[in-house]
Structure 1
Amino acid sequence: MTALVTLGYSMNTNNEEEVNAAKAWIEVGAKKGVGYLTDDIFDEIPNKNYDVAMAYSGDAAEIIYRVYDEEIDLQLDFVTPEVGTNIWIDFLAIHSSANEENVYKFLNHILSYDGALENTRSLFYASPREDVRQGQIRTASTERIKELYTIDFREQDEIFRFDPVSKELIDNAWNSIGVRRQGKPINLSTIIITVVGGVLVVGVIATFIIVRRKRR
């Protein structure tokens, strides 16, 4: 998504030429020491190993809360890209062979006030329940964390939508790159987390993280 937006394309594109251009952009970054990781960020950022990371808003909030609560000597902040970011919604789907009675019991719980509050306290994502989300803002540890729970749809932001053609093109591009983390860890005193804005309904999806090591 970052490469597509940077190049001026829609993150929902199913144009093969645009996806290939984004792939080439990512390959240039990989040669310069950019790593492509997933949940490693939850340990690597508090351990002061990276300059900058792209993360979902809830993941950024979780890391900032951890640093704050554990009194880690680290100054964290976040920015939302001026060129735009993606607005996304997570969901839970009912499997065709599921035990529907138990499924609906769980869904009713997770959508109740207590269930939604428990969910967001565990996952740190903004709740779709307005009363719970406002509570997140009121009880946030810092003013900056409050902003992570503030929903702001800007003109340059885009809602990411599932498209089977786009998914196949992007999956094939990533599989052909096969990049991994490069270089040795370094210690930093300040890290900025770049937030990909999001609203959690119910559930969690895998987060794709981009990290850049500090140049020596």
Structure 2
Amino acid sequence: MKVLIADDHAMIRAGLAFLFSDGFGAEVAQAETLDGALEYLNGPGPSYDLALMDLDMPGMAGGVTLRNLREKFPGLKLAVVSGSDKRSDMLSALSAGVHGYFLKTMTTEDMASGFKIIMAGGMYVPPALSQVPSGPDAPSAAPAMPEPSATPGLAVENLTPRQRDVLGHLAHGKGTKEIARALDLAEGTVKVHVAALYRALGARSRSEAIALAARLIR
């Protein structure tokens, strides 16, 4: 079994890597960012069986990114391992089509049991979801896009190198295929990055994203 662990916390990666290599005999790869994870997923060799994603690592844009990953890698088992027990985060991830949501506070035994459920074809939903009260924190499906502002609050320095590349091409009005050719990337990979930029920019349409991107890189 090939497993990818993507998290910007080294201790979390090390713990999960040990769990899978020692407990499941899996071949494990590790990434600190979404860019790094995509390099592994798009790399040569056999496909990965399972990918674990942290919601807060660089490059991630919540449910938008997860949904794009599911579309690009339909045969991949995708799960979230997060420190967030917010109902909105759980529901957003699950509605994006992930196969499970794991809290970093879970015991190793509970995580292992949940991963077995996923690899057997099931879905793991944390018991904490039913214990978290519903209310203002609970969206219907996915969190709404933030309202765009006249002056984007996004700083180019906060983007990953690949996202900055995509942003530059987006600012010039290039489409997904054009960006993919220019950066020698798969179209699905470009879509993941564009979706992350849309969310970061607070854009609700392509024309709005292009306008905001153009002002941002001036």
Task: Tell me whether the two structures share a fold, i.e. TM-score over 0.5.
Answer: no
Question: How would you bin the TM-score normalised by the shorter chain?
Answer: under 0.3
- Kindly name which structure, 1 or 2, has the bigger radius of gyration based on alpha carbons: 1
**TM-score, scaled to structure 1:** 0.26
**TM-score, scaled to structure 2:** 0.26
